Amino acid sequence: MHNFEFVRPSSIADAVAALASEDAQPLSGGQTLIPSMKARLNAPELLVSLTGIAEMKGVCRDGDALVIGAATTHAEVASAAAGDFPGLAALAGQIGDPAVRARGTIGGSLANNDPSACYPAAVLGTGATIVTDRREIGADDFFQGMFTTALDEGEIITSVRLPIPQASAYAKFLQPASRFALTGVFVAKYASSVRVAVTGASEDGVFRWAEAEAALSSSFDAEAIAGLTHPSEGMISDLHGTPEYRANLVRVMTGRAVSAAG
């Protein structure tokens, strides 16, 4: 690991000011950044920790939405969201292992946008709003491909606002070693629509399955998507599974999520 400077500001304004420095990077849970630094794949001169900013922590209900500070850990989301949004709480409780859940944060996960991460499925699956130090970004516009988001240079996520669905669930077929999703599906039912978001399957990262959304909006039952198939084009191919395997998992895990939510 290369030498670097470290600061831990106590306000969003101070964090933004520090990130204006040349070759500065934000540090939240550090579950991706720190290993990449240890492997000398990343060598920032300044790390700006976001973990000391109180206004970026915590979970609270605001009307029909759940608002989560970006520096809130997975373990805290799993605990605090259980009453108002059990589907999200269950998802957070499946991320990594206890050590990862104690350190990793929702903001860090979303900013990194790993194609197999769990949170992007919940955020896209609920049509959430990502709040930054500069603006608000709808989930449909935020995720822009593998490890790519709408965030500008130096822009940080401060909170996430997720509309609470009538019913929801996350079905995850995990890769045992990494505990990332080989394919994971988040389903959220609202009064007028159903949203289905898939992670871990596509080379482009998290995506919505429109055909399943249409079928489930007519009948929120696993049988409604039993006859659907998802194309294998663009699906990830690696030692864990072929594109065809992942395409089949999209349908299977969607059915499991609907059954769990129902």
**Could you report the per-residue pLDDT of 230-247, keeping only the tens digit for each?**
999 999 999 999 999 999
- For the segment 17-58, what is each residue's pLDDT rounded down to a tens digit? 998 888 888 878 777 777 677 777 777 788 888 989 999 999
Q: Which domains does the chain have, with CATH numbers?
A: 5-49 (3.30.43.10), 54-163 (3.30.465.10), 167-261 (3.30.390.50)
Q: What is the pLDDT of residue 91?
A: 98
Give the pLDDT band of residue 64 (cuts 50, 70, 90): very high
Q: What is the pLDDT of residue 13?
A: 94
Higher pLDDT, 208 or 7: 208
User: Is the pLDDT reported for residue 7 higher than 80?
Assistant: yes
- Asked if pLDDT for residue 111 goes beyond 80, the answer is yes
Measured CA to CA, the distance from residue 44 to residue 190 in angstroms comes to 43
Q: Which residue has the higher pLDDT, 136 or 176?
A: 136
By the 8 A CB rule, do 165 and 122 touch?
Answer: no
pLDDT of residue 24: 84
Which residues fall within 8 angstroms of residue 24, CB to CB, at 6 or more apart? 18, 44, 45, 46, 47, 48, 154
Length of the chain counted residue by residue = 262
The per-residue pLDDT of the chain, averaged, comes to: 94
pLDDT score of 3: 81
Backbone angles phi, psi at 22, to 5 degrees: -65, 135
What is the per-residue pLDDT across 146-187, written as a single tens digit (0 to 9) for each? 999 999 998 999 999 999 999 999 999 998 888 899 999 999
pLDDT of residue 22: 83
Q: In the predicted model, what is the mean pLDDT of residues 251-259?
A: 98
Q: What is the pTM of this model?
A: 0.94
pLDDT at 115 over 80: yes
C-alpha 36/C-alpha 132 separation (Å) is 25
Residue ranges with strand state E in 41-108: 46-49, 59-62, 65-69
Two tokens at 226? Answer: 């039993």
Q: Is the pLDDT of residue 66 over 90?
A: yes
Q: Which pLDDT does position 137 carry in this prediction? A: 98
pLDDT more than 70, % of the chain:
99
Mean pLDDT of 206-231: 97
